[in-house]
Amino acid sequence: GAGVSQSPRYKVTKRGQDVALRCDPISGHVSLYWYRQALGQGPEFLTYFNYEAQQDKSGLPNDRFSAERPEGSISTLTIQRTEQRDSAMYRCASSFQNQKLFFGSGTQLSVL
Amino acid sequence: QQPVQSPQAVILREGEDAVINCSSSKALYSVHWYRQKHGEAPVFLMILLKGGEQKGHDKISASFNEKKQQSSLYLTASQLSYSGTYFCGTEQGRSGGYQKVTFGTGTKLQVIP
């Protein structure tokens, strides 16, 4: 596609439910990142993939958060047993040869 | 360590100039600048690598003082389209061959007619 595509655009869930957020990067972009952005704040690094390999997951807040990119293209960020503090905008970004980041429109997660 | 940006917010009239500063308490490998319009994704402006270079395109340029661990973004003859929140992001190194950017809290810039 022309840009980084994320779905759903909005996700409202109840506390304790699991959610899966999807990212479809720009075709040919090897590098894929997940960021979280709180309102009024800059993006916060969560995890990085090089093709299908998760090379850095140091930014994942706790073990309820996980991510995968099984075929080196589409990635899924999963949050288990969601809590209200997980509410935020989750953004995916991809890049070619680790040049500039192209961010997606994000998934706005609200945990009630 | 999150970089510190100043000012937090600025209002300009069209045609005026502005400077946004970004500073870090740690040695830097690179500084990245992004602009985010309300309700949209951040958009890349430029990246500066250590070496004290200055970059620019159109009327937006930036400098990177490696020794002071500071970067400044210069907006000249501002246009209405420059409105948005500007984020600097920093890297302390790139040992893994990928970007691990830590973003600042942003500078909200509004250009009015």
SS3 B96: coil
The stretch A32-42 carries a mean pLDDT of 95
**Token pair in block for residue B69:** 């661990």
Which pLDDT belongs to residue B92?
Answer: 87
Which pLDDT belongs to residue B70?
Answer: 93
Q: Is B54 a residue whose pLDDT tops 70?
A: no
Mutate to test the interface with A, among B31, B99, B100, B105 (most CBs of A within 10 A): B99
Which pLDDT belongs to residue B49?
Answer: 87
Residue B97 near residue A98 (C-beta atoms within 8 A): yes
Which pLDDT belongs to residue B62?
Answer: 93
| Chain A residues inside the 8 Å CB shell of B100 | 45, 48, 56
Q: Nearest-CA distance from B27 to chain A in Å? A: 19
| Chain A residues inside the 8 Å CB shell of B87 | 42-43
Which pLDDT belongs to residue B6?
Answer: 96
Q: Do B106 and A41 touch (CB under 8 A)?
A: yes
Q: Do A103 and B42 touch (CB under 8 A)?
A: yes
Which pLDDT belongs to residue B64?
Answer: 92
Tell me, yes or no, if B37 comes closer than 8 A to chain A by beta carbon. Answer: no
> In this complex, which of B40, B42, B47 lies closest to A43 when CB atoms are compared?
B42
Q: Is B20 a residue whose pLDDT tops 90?
A: yes
The stretch A55-66 carries a mean pLDDT of 96
Amino acid in the structure at residue A24? D
**Residue A35 DSSP label:** E
Of A9-18, A50-59, B7-16, B59-68, give the lowest mean pLDDT range.
B59-68
The stretch A48-58 carries a mean pLDDT of 95
Q: Cis link prior to A8 (omega < 30° from 0)?
A: yes
The stretch B33-55 carries a mean pLDDT of 88
Q: Do A48 and B100 touch (CB under 8 A)?
A: yes
The stretch B36-56 carries a mean pLDDT of 86
Rounded to whole angstroms, what are the CA distances from A63 to A50, A66, A68, B56? 21, 7, 14, 42
Q: Nearest-CA distance from B1 to chain A in Å? A: 11
Q: Is B58 a residue whose pLDDT tops 80?
A: no
Q: Is B53 a residue whose pLDDT tops 70?
A: no
Which pLDDT belongs to residue B99?
Answer: 85
Residue B106 near residue B7 (C-beta atoms within 8 A): no
Beta partners for A34? A47, A92
Mutate to test the interface with A, among B94, B101, B102, B107 (most CBs of A within 10 A): B101
